[in-house]
């Protein structure tokens, strides 16, 4: 019975090929556009997360309580490096690596000129586990020792200081005691950055070198934490807060960058809004097609009723026509959108972010679940669009149908 209705529904759609083709083309374009939009936004969200988490902050940071509100006296909230604390952090489910850091402001110069520097001191081995892309794009030699007097600079900072690999520089900072201290370091390389601030101010040095400069042996400002799945950072952070207690601040990368959290929320809202608008347009197009079909076939419907067709059968037939139209359009649209995304993912889409030193590449993608979800939503929308015309047709009487002109 169901097969017979579907076959009859498909044949009815072919009776007005032009109108069916136009509606079908709209469904295909709408579904493909929705998938492309989802693919590009997913790629952008992934790119931003990787650029911030894997190359700079890490998924989570652990500070001493009060550090976030500290401005000029951030070093007053320094932590003592503690292997037991590191083991405690690693014992939390979802945590895969932890790395100590010492972050502070200073000045870097070449003997003739100097400029402000935002210094991040790291232990290279654990840092590479927490931020996998931290040293990936370094031109020259990345940091290899936790004790050497060497440093990696942001690309524009190196250009401004007229420094190159092997250049001798001086790093000046105010120790925790308040006394200024100056140490020589050798530039081993430079690194392109995605932000203007990092490009002109970033300096990376070994942890032990920074502790000597600041007269803070064994002290750090934070632990950077890597998690198994980036989208689970909030859950892992909540577990860390319970485990570590109120004497520590546990912040995710989005907590540290609230502007970025707002941007990501805006992107998701835009994606949902555009998809909703597309669904409304598609639903309207299908509803218009179905109303026109019912209007043209009023006498036919009356004849079918007069010959014994039940109202429920008429209702199912018209809904089946919408289902066939929606399923075919959604399937073809999903195929077109998925194929375009596969090509773009393979080739990549190159763009330059404002203030970035180098071009970046997006690889748009969409999950199988998103494709199936989009297809299901479009088919459901077509059924909803057909409900009104189908219900109206099923309520007609043979007499009024046969009187229609």
Q: What tens digit of pLDDT does each residue of 88-115 get?
A: 999 999 999 999 999 888 888 887 888 8
> What's the confidence (pLDDT) of residue 195?
67
187's CB contacts (< 8 A; 6+ apart) are 140, 150, 151, 152, 153, 158, 163, 164, 165, 166, 167, 168, 169
Measured CA to CA, the distance from residue 146 to residue 143 in angstroms comes to 8
Tokens of 130: 């927490």
Element (H, E) at 7: helix 2-13
More confident residue, 177 or 184: 184
Q: What tens digit of pLDDT does each residue of 227-267 get?
A: 988 888 889 999 999 988 888 899 888 888 777 777 777 87
pTM for this predicted structure: 0.72
For residue 311, CA distances in Å to 76, 296, 326, 391, 397 come to 80, 18, 23, 9, 9
154's CB contacts (< 8 A; 6+ apart) are 190, 191, 193, 198, 199, 200, 201, 202, 203, 357
3-state secondary structure 218-235: CEECEEEEEECCHHHHHH
> What's the confidence (pLDDT) of residue 302?
63
Helix (H, G, I), strand (E, B) or coil at 153: strand
127-131, 173-177, 384-388: which is most confident: 127-131
Helix (H, G, I), strand (E, B) or coil at 152: strand
Cβ-count burial 37-66 (b if 16+ within 10 Å, e if not): bbbbbbbbbebbbebbbbbbbbbbbbbbee
More confident residue, 398 or 47: 47
Helix runs in 77-142, H state only: 83-90, 124-130
> What's the confidence (pLDDT) of residue 87?
92
Least Cα distance to 323 among 386, 249, 231 occurs for 386
Measured CA to CA, the distance from residue 317 to residue 319 in angstroms comes to 5
Report the DSSP pairing between strands 114-122 and 79-80. Answer: unpaired
Helix then strand count (H, E) for the chain reads: 14, 14
Residue 341 has pLDDT above 60, yes or no: yes
Helix (H, G, I), strand (E, B) or coil at 263: helix
Q: Which residue has the tokens 């632990």?
A: 223
CA angle (43 as vertex; 41, 46 as ends), nearest 5: 110
**220 close to 207: Cβ distance less than 8 angstroms:** yes
Q: What tens digit of pLDDT does each residue of 319-329 get?
A: 777 777 888 88
CA 166 to chain centre: 38
């Amino acid at each position: 019975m169901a097969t017979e209705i579907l076959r009859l529904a498909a044949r009815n759609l072919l009776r007005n090929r032009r109108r069916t083709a136009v509606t079908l083309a709209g469904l295909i374009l709408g579904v493909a556009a929705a998938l492309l939009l989802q693919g590009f936004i997913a790629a952008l969200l992934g790119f931003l997360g990787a650029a911030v988490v894997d190359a700079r902050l890490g998924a989570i940071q652990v500070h001493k309580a009060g550090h976030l509100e500290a401005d000029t006296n951030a070093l007053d909230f320094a932590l003592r490096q503690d292997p037991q604390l590191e083991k405690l952090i690693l014992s939390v489910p979802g945590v895969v690596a932890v790395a100590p850091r010492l972050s502070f402001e200073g000045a870097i110069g070449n003997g003739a000129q100097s400029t402000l520097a935002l210094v991040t001191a790291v232990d290279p081995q654990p840092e590479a586990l927490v931020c996998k892309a931290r040293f990936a794009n370094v031109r020259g030699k990345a940091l290899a020792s936790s004790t050497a007097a060497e440093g990696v600079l942001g690309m524009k900072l190196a250009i401004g200081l007229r420094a190159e690999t092997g250049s001798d520089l001086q790093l000046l900072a105010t120790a925790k005691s308040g006394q200024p201290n100056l140490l020589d370091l050798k530039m081993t390389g430079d690194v392109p950055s995605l932000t203007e601030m990092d490009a002109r101010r970033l300096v990376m040095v070994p942890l032990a070198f920074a502790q000597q400069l600041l007269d803070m042996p064994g002290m750090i400002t934070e632990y950077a934490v890597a998690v198994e799945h980036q989208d689970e950072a909030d859950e892992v952070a909540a577990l860390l807060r319970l485990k570590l207690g109120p004497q520590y601040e546990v912040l995710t990368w989005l907590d540290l960058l609230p502007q970025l959290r707002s941007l990501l929320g805006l992107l998701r809202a835009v994606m949902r809004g555009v998809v909703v608008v597309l669904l409304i347009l598609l639903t309207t197009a299908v509803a218009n097609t179905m109303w026109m079909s019912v209007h043209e076939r009023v006498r036919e419907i009356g004849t079918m009723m007069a010959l014994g067709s039940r109202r429920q059968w008429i209702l199912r037939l018209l809904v089946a026509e919408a289902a066939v139209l929606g399923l075919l359009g959604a399937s073809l649209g999903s195929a077109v959108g998925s194929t375009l995304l596969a090509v773009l993912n393979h080739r990549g889409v190159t763009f330059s972010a404002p203030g970035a030193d180098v071009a970046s590449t997006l690889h748009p993608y969409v999950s199988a679940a998103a494709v199936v979800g989009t297809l299901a939503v479009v088919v459901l929308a077509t059924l909803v669009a057909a409900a009104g015309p189908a219900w109206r047709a099923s309520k007609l009487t043979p007499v009024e149908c046969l009187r229609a002109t």
